[in-house]
Structures are given as C-alpha cells and as structure tokens.
C-alpha cells in the first residue's frame, strides 16, 4: 500500500518537474536558488534531506544486496527521484519476530 502512495506522489511530481524543465531548463532550476537567502535556505534544506536519503539508500542497499550506485547517481542529478524510485523498486522484506 505504501508503494502505491509513493507512486501517487511520484506521478504529479514528475509532471511538475517536466513542466519546470520545459519552461526554464535544467541549469535555471539551480541558478534561481541563489537569488536570495530564502531560496538558498530552501536549497540547503533540500541538499540535506537528499543527503540523508542517500545515506539511508547506501545502508539499505548494503543490507539487501542491491547496487546503490544507480540510485545515488540519480539522486545527485535529479534530487527526490532517486529515493522515490529506489523505494518503489525495493523487494518486500520478510520480518522475523525478535522474540523467538
């Protein structure tokens, strides 16, 4: 169910991102972030959040035997798309009770 919700977030986010790229281009998305301290703070917040997600993906990939590099590279060039797609493509884990 959670993957379905992530997919529902991913679809409009993809449409918004494509419209933004069409309107201003890839590099303009970043140059606008240096217009003032407010936009710089938003960029710093985004970089921190994506960095935390990348760390989580690295650790999760090690624990599940997945190759983290495609997802990390995607995160570096497209932000939230990397973690969202990583989560959607993850295999379901079997939980083992701890009190056995």
| Residue 71 resides in a domain | yes
| Residue 40 resides in a domain | yes
Tokens of 47: 């970089």
| Residue 64 resides in a domain | yes
pTM: 0.76
| Residue 32 resides in a domain | yes
**Total structural domains within the chain:** 1
Question: Which pLDDT band holds residue 95 (cuts at 50, 70, 90)?
Answer: low
* Average pLDDT over all residues of the chain: 89
Burial 38-75 (b: 16+ CB within 10 A, else e): eeeeeeeeeeeebeebbeebeebbeeeebebeebbebb
Q: Does residue 97 carry a pLDDT above 70?
A: no
| Residue 58 resides in a domain | yes
pLDDT at 26: 85
Give the domain range for residue 51: 2-89
| Residue 31 resides in a domain | yes
């Amino acid at each position: 169910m959670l993957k379905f919700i992530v997919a529902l977030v991913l679809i409009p986010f993809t449409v918004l991102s494509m419209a933004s790229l069409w309107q201003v281009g890839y590099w303009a998305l970043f140059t606008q972030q240096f217009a003032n301290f407010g936009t710089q703070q938003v960029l710093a917040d985004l970089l921190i959040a994506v960095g935390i997600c990348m760390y989580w993906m690295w650790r999760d990939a090690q624990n599940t035997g997945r190759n983290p590099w495609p997802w990390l590279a995607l995160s570096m060039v497209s932000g939230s798309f990397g973690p969202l797609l990583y989560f959607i493509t993850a295999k379901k884990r079997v939980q083992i009770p701890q009190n056995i």
